[in-house]
């Protein structure tokens, strides 16, 4: 039985970016349960009216950046204004500068949003790829998005992981033969992402989503 108590009222208005690659239905349900009013849209004008923006994502880095290309300026403007931007899985990887994935697939270099400087690298070949399953979160430094989740488990599905230029960008890690970033954030703290899927991570994921909604409400 769930111990998570949804709020009695809406805490924040959140935009879920629809660029063709997101797990929109599950993410919407999770955010609503966490206290958000959710608008699914690809309209950049909606970003300014929202308390926070969520960039979900499943699939390849190149396809993600190509699909989200028309929204790049609006997303970076939103982040540069100090407003909350939350990337999930591929959405988190898109916050970085680049990814080895496109080069690995022979597609050449692809530029990410560059909101958390760094690159995404592939797990070593001696590990089963993609990494899929539940892993324990180890919080490395304070950030509102990870309140109450240290030592809890989240659900991952990915072949690449983030390597931020600044080690301080790593908020939490998980272990898959190596300690890899599970949660990252920019220096200002308003742009952050989870490599795991909170909408598929049970109580841990609901806590993360509630942390995000409360962060948006506080801003």
Catalytic positions, written as ranges = 89, 197, 199
Q: What is the 3-state secondary structure (H, E, C) of the chain?
A: CCCCCCCCCCCEEEEEECCCCCCHHHHHHHHHHCCEEEEEECCCHHHHHCCEEEECCCCCHHHHHHHHHHHHHHHHHHHHCCCCEEEECHHHHHCCCEEHHHHHCCCCCCCCCCCCCEEEEECCCCCCCCEEEEEECEECCCCHHHCCCCCCEEEEEECEEEEECCHHHEEEEEECCCEEEEEEECCCCCEEEECCCHHHCHHHHHHHHHHHHHHHHHC
């Amino acid at each position: 039985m769930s111990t998570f108590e949804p709020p009695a009222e809406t805490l924040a208005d959140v935009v879920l970016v629809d660029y063709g690659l997101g797990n929109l239905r599950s993410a919407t349900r999770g955010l609503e349960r966490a206290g958000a009013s959710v608008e699914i849209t690809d309209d950049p004008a909606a970003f300014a009216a929202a308390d926070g923006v969520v960039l979900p994502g499943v699939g390849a880095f190149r396809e993600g950046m190509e699909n989200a290309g028309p929204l790049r300026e609006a997303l970076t403007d939103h982040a540069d204004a100090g407003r909350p931007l939350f990337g999930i899985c591929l959405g988190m990887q898109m916050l970085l500068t680049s990814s080895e994935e496109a080069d690995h697939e022979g597609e050449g270099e692809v530029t990410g949003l560059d909101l958390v400087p760094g690159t995404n690298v592939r797990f070593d070949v001696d590990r089963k790829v993609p990494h899929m399953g539940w892993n324990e979160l180890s919080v490395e430094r304070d950030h509102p998005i990870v309140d109450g989740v240290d030592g809890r488990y989240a659900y991952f599905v990915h072949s690449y992981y983030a390597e931020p230029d600044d080690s301080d960008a790593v908020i939490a890690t998980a272990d898959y033969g190596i300690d890899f970033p599970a949660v990252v954030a920019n220096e200002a703290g308003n742009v952050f992402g989870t490599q795991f899927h909170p909408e598929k991570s049970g109580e841990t994921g609901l806590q993360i989503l509630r942390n995000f909604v409360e962060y948006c409400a506080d801003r």
